A and B are shown apart, each in its own frame.
Chain A
Amino acid sequence: MMAPDAPFEIPFWGANTIMVAIGCAIFGALAGSVGTFVLARRQSLLADVAGHAALPGVALAFLVGEWFGLSGRSPWLLLLGGGISALLAAWSTPWLASKRRLGADGANAVALAGFFGLGSVLFSVVQSHPSGAQGGLRRLLFGNAAAMTSSDAIALGVIAIVALTTLMLAFKELSLLAFDEAAASVLGLRTRVLEWVLLLLLVATVVAGMQVAGVALVVSMLIAPAAAARVLGGSFARTATTAACIGIACALVGAIASRAVTHVPTGSAMTLAATAAFFLSIPAARVLRNSRARVLTERAS
């Protein structure tokens, strides 16, 4: 019998691995496409705040669940808790920045540290709880896709399908909001509603990514694939599609790497893959530009 933390205790290409791979791929697609909007609206740090802010919500949800005699490990309960606190942070931070003359930079730093500090304290309480240490909540910090259960996968799938459908249906309106908010408003688009849609999509991505990438590193999967796609160029729709594809690739590479190497959290492996994708996109963009220029020159001659 293998040790409990052995890397290959589950068959590498078994049904569980396929479920984990599908879950990671769905998350990668969601993170890449939503990240394109987050990057375009210069809200990368806000995404980081939302990710870290999910932590106290998750811990509180666990404690409340246990208090009422429910299973504190229920994925829907944890997602709800993480989602509420991430949404609270994502909504209140820009408000704090505008009302208290802190600026986005200061407000993001204050909110991130505050929410994460609160999360750490609540996590200590969870760990001291009789069932807390066995709850496996620590995996939500840096992700552990291999520990994904079928209910986790269903929750992730439902969130991702709803979010991606919303994104596709409102794509052109959201892209105008990202490009020129004032013109969108004058044209009659409900910019406040669209802003909330983007905020909810960001929070949905954060909660969907808690299990696979972890709250501390989910931002890397939101931003790095989108940044790589942006470096590669093309229209906004093409950038979002490319970002989704890069997100899928990075999520799969991260999941496989964390499965193959002992004690490497999935979130860390995904982050490294996404960072590598970003740096690879720089020479790739140069090659693409040169080949395009060559084609144009040949056509002209």
Chain B
Amino acid sequence: MTSTGAPLAIERFSAGYGNGELVVRNATFTLRAGAMTALVGPNGAGKSTLLKGALGLLPQVDTSGVRYFGQPLDDVRARVAYLPQRADIDWTFPASALDVAAMGLYRKIGFFHRVSGRWKAEARRALALVDMETFADMPIGELSGGQQQRVLLARSLAQGADLLMLDEPFVNVDFATAERLGAILRLACARGMTVFAVHHDLGDVRRFFDEAVLFDGTVVAHGPIEVALADAKLHEAFRLGPPPQEQLA
């Protein structure tokens, strides 16, 4: 990795949907390079809005407080990949696993150029990294939920991204698939990638992630899992009142 600056640094960042109401307010945090960081918080806390806003997917949001590798997103787009929520993708779309993995290469291939055999070979290698090479020619609609997620991961690996931002990647997958996806992400981190994922299952977060950003409209806590997800912080973010031991005291 040839980073100059943190993979993602957000400072006093606010975001909403243009109706005057801010869903994200004054969020500030910096991701550690090469780490897996989870974005955790209650439903409606603005986790997806934070991710989409920081990626410039909400047109009315000011992204001047967001830096990727020390630069604005436009200057480092090749190094940043995004996996949306499963529900945001039309899985009946007529494409094979290989077609989808090759989409990560479109920037490298260039405008007006077709996906030649060389690029298909590269996409196939990316599928092999997520153990999906044998499914390369299978229509994506015929794959299981976990396999579809692995194909999207292959797309990001093909892109050669240094920062991968995922929105609920483990949702609606079984335990074994979650383990497999977690292992692939850990392997990607070991190779220098930074992973930042919205996640709701605290058990998965404790198992797979190095750090967490606890979020409820703004950053409640950020740091290593044991610090960010301490009981008191969780009770504050999820508005559960004080933890039981404090009530007893």
Contacts and interface: CB of A to CB of B under 8 A. Distances in A.
Given A172-B115, A188-B74, A233-B139, A178 B106 contact: no
B111 A173 contact: yes
A15 interface: no
Contacts of A236: 93-95, 99
Given A183-B155, A233-B94, A172 B106 contact: yes
A235 B98 CA distance: 10
A230 interface: yes
Count chain B CB atoms within 10 A of each CB in A186, A189, A234, A236 and give the residue with the most.
A186
Contacts of A171: 114
Contacts of B175: none
Contact of B95 (A169, A182, A189, A235): A235
B94 A239 contact: yes
A234 B84 contact: no
Contacts of B88: 180, 182
B94 A234 contact: yes
B69 to A, nearest CB: 14
A235 B107 contact: no
B57 A173 contact: no
A119 B189 CA distance: 60
Which of B56, B81, B103 has the most C-beta atoms of chain A within 10 angstroms of its own C-beta?
A: B103
B82 A182 contact: yes
A180 B93 CA distance: 10
A178 B103 CA distance: 12
A178 B106 CA distance: 14
Contacts of A158: none
B93 A169 contact: no
B49 interface: no
B80 interface: yes
A284 interface: no
A180 B56 contact: no
Contact of A187 (B94, B107, B112): B107
B55 interface: yes
Given A40-B90, A186-B82, A235-B95, A176 B111 contact: no
A186 B74 CA distance: 9
Contact of B106 (A169, A173, A182, A230): A173
Nearest to A188: B77
A26 to B, nearest CB: 23
Interface in B35-91: 52, 55-57, 74, 77-78, 80-84, 88-90
B155 to A, nearest CB: 7
Contacts of B55: 182, 185-186
Contact of B78 (A170, A176, A178, A188): A188
B57 A186 contact: yes
B100 interface: yes
A179 B93 contact: yes
Interface string A231-256: 00111101100000000000000000
A179 B139 CA distance: 13
Given A176-B106, A187-B77, A187-B159, A182 B93 contact: no
Interface string A108-128: 000000000000000000000
Given A173-B111, A179-B89, A179-B93, A186 B81 contact: yes
B112 A182 contact: no
B22 interface: no
Contacts of B56: 185-186
Given A176-B103, A187-B106, A170 B93 contact: no
Nearest to A187: B107
A230 B74 contact: no
Contact of A185 (B57, B95, B114): B57
B183 interface: no
B96 interface: yes
Given A179-B95, A183-B82, A172 B57 contact: no
Contacts of B103: 172, 176, 179-180, 183
Given A40-B94, A172-B109, A188-B74, 8 more contacts: A176-B103, A180-B84, A186-B82, A187-B107, A188-B107, A189-B106, A236-B94, A236-B95
Interface of A: 40, 42, 169-173, 175-176, 178-180, 182-183, 185-189, 230, 233-236, 238-239
Interface of B: 52, 55-57, 74, 77-78, 80-84, 88-90, 93-96, 99-100, 103-104, 106-107, 109, 111-112, 114-115, 139, 155, 159
17 contacts: A169-B112, A170-B111, A171-B114, A172-B114, A179-B89, A179-B103, A180-B103, A183-B84, A185-B55, A185-B56, A186-B55, A186-B81, A187-B107, A188-B107, A236-B94, A236-B95, A238-B94
By Cβ-Cβ distance, the 10 closest A-B pairs, closest first, are A188-B77, A186-B82, A239-B94, A182-B84, A179-B93, A236-B94, A176-B103, A169-B112, A236-B95, A186-B55
